[in-house]
């Protein structure tokens, strides 16, 4: 392999919990993952199908009649260290088994041993954030997303996993087109790991195939699948590999025989993935081993039949491995245009709609102000929705102030906080009429010594290269009631915030 290429290995499901605790002791930790080929790669990625944490207890709702709960003690990470694992994907139907606190704790333990993780987070945005690693002269970005357990999905306020439903392929396009385009600014290659499909499936369903295609169309160089606990074939779509399922790599299933498994070595060059090598592995009771000789050849020939169902030729090498050569097609322009996530929307939320207000070349279409009542010094959050009445000829800044309804009662919230829209990410010179743009920005309060119990009214400003273009008061109010302060000025009418 020349210096311009790197090799990434994808392994399947790894469960460090349950019986694996004592099996690792019985076998010896160094005898659990017996795959010499792992050490030849530049980067190794596994799907961690358990939660490594001491927090929480069984009983997290899973919507299943007899759910499984997989927990591993932190010392079990020694198995991943011995396998030289670099990254684990965590968006799956077991990382949330012991609740949100355990998800957060797991990341702490992984960080402590230098293993990167992706697919879970304190918020939905964090869960969908890729991990980027430099390998030689290349930078590799990895996403992880689950399609099997919606109850573990992260939200704006709840920790959890990156989750998207298989039944909505358009959602995958909408989520991944901008994210992949954005990470391309810092990464040479983009891989998307997906936990999808039903247990025991020998071949992927139509929905999985369709979503796999959408991910390649969105800009992924390869799709790395798990979930079925069964090896599924490699599909080549637009010259890019979709490994539908890598099967179980390490599981504590009690069995006297070896379950067919494997690892997948992806060789990446300037154009993307150039080849995929299948290395046959046998997954036993709490251990796995690389197959050799006639046993390897037989296993690879069986796997070649699974690949053939997708029209993919897997050549058997002299050492009994499989090889798929691929030629990625040229990327075409990706549409829709890759604006940062959260900066545009299809419509203004009904509770934010206002009569459109023209400010220079822009129109303010909607406002949300939170909170509407404050009992302590805190930020005021303004979510606003805009479009361009005409194509802007310059970069305009927007600004909001929350001012006392009685002039001079105290300074305003949000002074000197005008900004390019979308929190500095989308200057108006790049706006197009017909697109709705969203801005979310906090207004900083005055010093606590200057605060008074008073009603505040929101106003909006537009500033251009020559200064202020327009300013309007808005019918949006908030009420400040500090228990340590005496009542100050309210408007002559009842406060709007009550």
Q: What is the pLDDT of residue 490?
A: 44
Provide mean pLDDT across the span 244-273: 94
Question: What are the φ/ψ torsions at residue 104 (nearest 5 degrees)?
Answer: -65, -40
Mean pLDDT, rounded, of the chain: 92
Question: Which of residues 284 and 58 earns the better pLDDT score?
Answer: 284
Are residues 318 and 357 both part of a single domain? Answer: no
Residue 489 has pLDDT above 70, yes or no: no
Are residues 293 and 348 both part of a single domain? Answer: no
Q: Residue 119 in contact with residue 89, Cβ under 8 Å? A: yes
Which helix (DSSP H) or strand (DSSP E) does residue 179 occupy?
Answer: helix 169-183
Q: What is the pLDDT of residue 208?
A: 97
Give the span between the Cα atoms of 493 and 475, in whole angstroms: 14
Proportion of the chain in helix, strand, coil states, percent, rounded to 5:
20, 35, 45
Are residues 295 and 354 both part of a single domain? Answer: no
Residue 46 in any domain: the answer is: yes
Number of domains in the chain: 2
Lowest mean pLDDT among 20-29, 402-411, 455-464: 402-411
Are residues 223 and 320 both part of a single domain? Answer: yes
Are residues 147 and 244 both part of a single domain? Answer: yes
Q: What is the pLDDT of residue 408?
A: 85
Supply the range of the domain harboring residue 175: 6-325
Domain end, chosen from 266, 297, 325, is at 325
Residue 496 in any domain: the answer is: no
Residue 162 has pLDDT above 60, yes or no: yes
Query: Where residue 449 sits, what CATH number does that domain have?
Result: 2.60.40.770
Residue 252 has pLDDT above 70, yes or no: yes
Residue 334 has pLDDT above 70, yes or no: no
Give the span between the Cα atoms of 392 and 360, in whole angstroms: 9
Residue 331 in any domain: the answer is: no
Query: Where residue 156 sits, what CATH number does that domain have?
Result: 3.60.21.10
Q: What is the pLDDT of residue 337?
A: 46
Are residues 172 and 319 both part of a single domain? Answer: yes
Give the span between the Cα atoms of 383 and 90, in whole angstroms: 32
Give the span between the Cα atoms of 9 and 38, in whole angstroms: 7
Q: Which tokens hold the place of 81? A: 């260290």
pLDDT in tens, 80-136: 999 999 999 999 999 999 999 999 999 999 999 999 999 999 999 999 999 999 998
Q: Which residues pair with 145 in a beta bridge?
A: 194
Are residues 37 and 147 both part of a single domain? Answer: yes
Q: What is the pLDDT of residue 66?
A: 84
Residue 336 has pLDDT above 90, yes or no: no
Residue 494 has pLDDT above 50, yes or no: no
Are residues 310 and 377 both part of a single domain? Answer: no
Give the span between the Cα atoms of 181 and 339, in whole angstroms: 9
Q: Taking phi first (over 0 means left), then psi (-120 to 50 degrees means alpha), and beta for anything else, what does residue 39 get?
A: alpha
Residue 491 in any domain: the answer is: no
Q: What is the pLDDT of residue 4?
A: 67
pLDDT in tens, 27-49: 999 999 999 999 999 999 999 99
Are residues 303 and 348 both part of a single domain? Answer: no
């Amino acid at each position: 392999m020349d210096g311009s290429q790197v090799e990434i290995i994808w392994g399947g499901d790894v469960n460090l919990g349950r019986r694996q605790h004592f099996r690792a002791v019985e076998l010896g930790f160094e005898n659990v993952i017996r795959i010499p080929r792992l050490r030849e790669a530049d980067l190794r990625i596994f799907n961690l199908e358990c939660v490594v944490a001491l927090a929480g207890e069984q009983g997290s709702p899973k919507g299943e009649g007899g759910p499984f709960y997989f927990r591993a003690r932190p010392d079990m990470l020694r198995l991943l260290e011995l396998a030289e694992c670099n990254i684990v994907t965590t968006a799956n139907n077991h990382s949330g088994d012991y609740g949100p606190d355990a998800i957060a704790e797991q990341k702490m333990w992984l960080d402590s041993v230098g293993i990167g993780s992706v697919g879970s987070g304190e918020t939905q945005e964090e869960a969908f954030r890729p991990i980027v690693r430099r390998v030689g002269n290349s930078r590799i970005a990895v996403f992880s997303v689950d399609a099997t357990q919606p109850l573990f999905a992260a939200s704006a306020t709840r920790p959890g996993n990156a989750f998207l439903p298989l039944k909505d392929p358009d959602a995958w396009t909408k989520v991944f087109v901008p994210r992949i385009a954005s990470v391309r600014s810092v990464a040479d290659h983009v891989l998307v790991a997906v936990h999808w499909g039903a247990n025991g499936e020998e071949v992927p369903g139509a929905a999985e195939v369709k979503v796999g295609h959408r991910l390649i169309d969105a800009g992924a160089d390869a799709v790395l699948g798990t979930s079925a606990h069964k090896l599924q074939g490699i599909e080549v779509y637009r010259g890019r590999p979709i490994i539908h399922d890598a099967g179980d790599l390490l599981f504590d299933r009690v069995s006297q025989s070896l379950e067919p498994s494997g690892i997948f070595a992806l060789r990446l060059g300037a154009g993307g993935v150039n080849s995929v090598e299948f290395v046959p592995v046998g997954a036993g009771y709490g251990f796995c081993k690389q197959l050799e000789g006639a046993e390897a050849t037989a296993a690879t020939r069986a796997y070649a039949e699974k690949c053939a169902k997708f029209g993919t030729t897997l050549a058997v090498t002299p050492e009994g491995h499989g090889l798929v050569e691929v030629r990625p097609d040229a990327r075409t322009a990706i549409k829709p245009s890759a604006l940062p996530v959260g900066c545009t929307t299809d419509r203004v939320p009904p509770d934010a709609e206002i009569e459109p207000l023209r400010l220079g070349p822009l129109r303010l279409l909607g406002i949300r102000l939170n909170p509407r009542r404050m009992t302590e010094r805190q930020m005021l959050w303004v979510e606003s929705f805009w479009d361009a009445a005409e194509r802007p000829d310059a970069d305009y800044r927007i600004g909001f102030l929350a001012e006392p309804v009685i002039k001079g009662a105290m300074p305003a919230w949000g002074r000197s906080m005008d900004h390019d829209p979308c929190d500095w990410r989308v200057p108006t010179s790049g706006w197009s009429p017909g697109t709705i743009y969203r801005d979310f920005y906090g207004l900083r309060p005055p010093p606590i010594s200057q605060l008074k119990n008073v009603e505040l009214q929101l106003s909006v400003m537009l500033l251009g290269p020559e200064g202020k273009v327009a300013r309007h008061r808005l019918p949006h109010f908030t009420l400040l009631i500090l228990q340590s302060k005496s009542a100050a000025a309210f408007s002559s009418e009842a406060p709007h915030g009550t």
